[in-house]
């Protein structure tokens, strides 16, 4: 599984979440298989997202769409430079 990990500064979580839920670039149609959203417990001005893909090429293509969206005036809640990386999951275990 390929993961696109994103950390971004935000100015308003509720506004960001509303825009995320509108899904303006069609996550499912763009190959996203699942996602998780995180927020640091000590910093409500940051958000983390982990998006799952079948392969690196699909993740990279989606990242291109995201970067285009982040440059648009329709994305006013972002603050500062995002941190992004594409990684491969190499091990996992549920210890519950």
> Residue 79: what pLDDT?
78
pTM for the model: 0.88
pLDDT in tens, 38-95: 999 999 999 999 999 999 999 999 999 999 888 877 666 777 788 999 999 999 999 9
Domains in the chain: ranges and CATH: 2-88 (3.30.70.100)
pLDDT at 10 over 80: yes
Smallest Cα–Cα separation from 6: which of 61, 90, 63? 63
Q: Is pLDDT above 80 for 24?
A: yes
Q: Sign of the C-alpha dihedral, residues 17, 38, 45, 85? A: negative
What is the Cα–Cα distance from 85 to 4, expressed in whole angstroms?
Answer: 6
Q: What is the reported pLDDT for 82?
A: 85
Encoded tokens for 78? 């972002």
């Amino acid at each position: 599984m390929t993961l696109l990990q994103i950390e971004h500064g935000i100015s308003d979580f509720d506004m960001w979440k509303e825009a995320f839920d509108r899904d303006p670039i069609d996550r499912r149609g763009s190959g996203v298989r699942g996602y998780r959203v995180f927020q640091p417990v000590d910093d409500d001005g940051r958000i983390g997202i982990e998006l799952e893909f079948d392969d690196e090429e699909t993740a990279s293509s989606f990242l291109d769409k995201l970067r285009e969206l982040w440059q648009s005036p329709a994305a006013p809640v972002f603050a500062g430079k995002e941190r992004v990386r594409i990684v491969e999951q190499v091990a996992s275990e549920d210890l519950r």
